[in-house]
Amino acid sequence: MTQITRETIDKIHSLLDQGLVCGLGQPVPGQMCVEAAINYALGRPHGDDPGCVAPSLRQLKIRLNDSNWSSNAARAEGMRRLAIAQLGSKDVLDEALFARKCALSVAHLWEMPDTVRQYLETGDESIRLAERDAARYAADAAARAADADAVYAAVYAAAAAAAAADAAADAAADAADAARADAASDKVLSDFAESIVQILIEMKAPGVQWL
């Protein structure tokens, strides 16, 4: 079992201060993705599996890392809290509940179709109807993509329809691409990352003690 200490957390913050790259990168500070940086801090071989992160959360982090951030510094800062909060989640986090919460939390933040909300709350087989309605809503919001808030709403409309953590990260990345502005992209992605942190806090994931 990987042991996380204050020294580990300090090393992670030091690595994040030097930025994160898109893709796996190289085992050199400032030239690694977020999960490779965690491996580096833990003294593990170079790679994108720290061995202490729940698989669904790890996949979300990788997709978010490789999204359209304006710079390596923005990528690291936007993912800083999530990089810490994810630690120790493997074999601890209820991944099905985590995926549901990823989508349900945003359904409450944004004006979502009733069918989407009902699916997320009950998990019943109305998913096809929910997806259809959510797709219509997301398309309508995307049509107003010049407005960063509309792009943000589209992110979460797609995320709610998917009702899965990895798909939610994909939706966030797609919306960031559509924003056409570095600041807007970073805000979409950073806010998405923080929404996941709040879910991990609610679920009492082990890593949140280091935030």
DSSP string computed for 69-107? -SSHHHHHHHHHHHHHHTTT-TTTS-HHHHHHHHHHHHH
* Span 40-87, pLDDT tens digits: 999 999 999 999 999 888 888 888 888 878 899 999 999 999 999 999
pTM of the model: 0.72
Residue 190 CB coordination number (10 Å)? 22
Q: Which two tokens stand for residue 159?
A: 């995320």
Distance between CA 126 and CA 120 in Å, rounded?
10
Tell me what the mean pLDDT of segment 140-149 comes to: 40
Does the pLDDT value for residue 117 go beyond 60?
no
Q: Say how many Å lie between the first and final Cα of the chain, rounded.
A: 21
The residues, any chain, with a CB within 8 Å of residue 156's CB and separated by 6 or more, are 106, 107, 109, 110, 112, 171
- 158-181 tens-digit pLDDT: 444 333 444 555 556 665 555 545
Average pLDDT, the chain: 75
* CA distance linking residue 153 with residue 13, whole number of Å: 31
